[in-house]
């Protein structure tokens, strides 16, 4: 997000905190940071970002005092990503690394292959933390039959795939 870079250009440690909060979906409302409805302490945020509580507090204040960032961070929401626990719930994870994330239809093509395999998608998340290293995580109900892997490799925009 360009506005984030502008606001924190002269405050790299605070920018590091803001980047981490963005990646994790930390909401900022009323000068406080939240994960869902759980209020996060400045100390915990600073520790997670590799800074201290004062830097975290300054970053949260800077976000709160900027109308654009305040509105943006107030609208963030963290989600439970199932990819790492997929085997525990009888699912598998398909990770797609695109040739170019801006190619339209990557998710549609991959979804069509999973449909042809008779698989249900439990969750699909496109993770693009820095705008340059996007990947698509798809949690499937059960295990994808191996005969569908070549079809997935042929989907538009797929550079590589990892099946877990």
> What confidence score (pLDDT) does residue 76 get?
94
> What confidence score (pLDDT) does residue 130 get?
58
96: exposed, middle or buried (Cβ count in 10 Å: 0-12, 13-18, 19+): buried
Report the relative pairing of strands 121-127 and 135-141 from DSSP bridges: antiparallel
> What confidence score (pLDDT) does residue 39 get?
97
What domains are defined for the chain?
2-74 (no CATH), 83-163 (3.30.70.260)
- Cβ atoms of 161 and 149 within 8 Å: the answer is yes
Distances (CA, A) of 127 to 26, 40, 67, 105: 16, 23, 26, 16
Taking the CA atoms of residue 29, residue 59, residue 24 and residue 7 in that order, the dihedral angle to the nearest 10 degrees is 100
> What confidence score (pLDDT) does residue 4 get?
87
> What confidence score (pLDDT) does residue 24 get?
92
> What confidence score (pLDDT) does residue 89 get?
95
pTM over 0.95: no
pLDDT digits (tens, 9 = 90+) for 47-64: 999 999 999 999 999 999
- Cβ atoms of 23 and 129 within 8 Å: the answer is yes
Radius of gyration of the CA atoms of the chain, in A: 19
All residue ranges of the chain with pLDDT < 50 are: none
């Amino acid at each position: 997000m360009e506005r984030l870079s502008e606001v924190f250009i002269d405050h790299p440690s605070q920018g590091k905190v803001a980047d981490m909060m963005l990646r994790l979906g930390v909401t900022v409302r009323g000068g406080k940071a939240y994960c869902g409805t759980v209020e996060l302490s400045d100390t915990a945020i600073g520790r997670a970002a590799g800074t201290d509580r004062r830097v975290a507090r300054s970053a949260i204040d800077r976000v709160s005092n900027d109308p654009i960032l305040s509105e943006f961070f107030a609208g963030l929401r963290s989600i439970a990503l199932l990819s790492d626990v997929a085997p525990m719930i009888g699912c598998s994870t398909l990770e797609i690394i695109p040739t170019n994330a801006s190619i339209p239809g990557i998710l549609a093509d991959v979804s069509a292959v999973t449909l042809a395999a008779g698989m249900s998608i439990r969750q699909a998340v496109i993770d693009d933390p820095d705008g340059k290293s996007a990947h698509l995580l798809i949690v499937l109900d059960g295990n994808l039959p191996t005969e569908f892997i070549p079809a997935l490799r042929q989907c538009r925009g797929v550079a590589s795939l990892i099946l877990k």
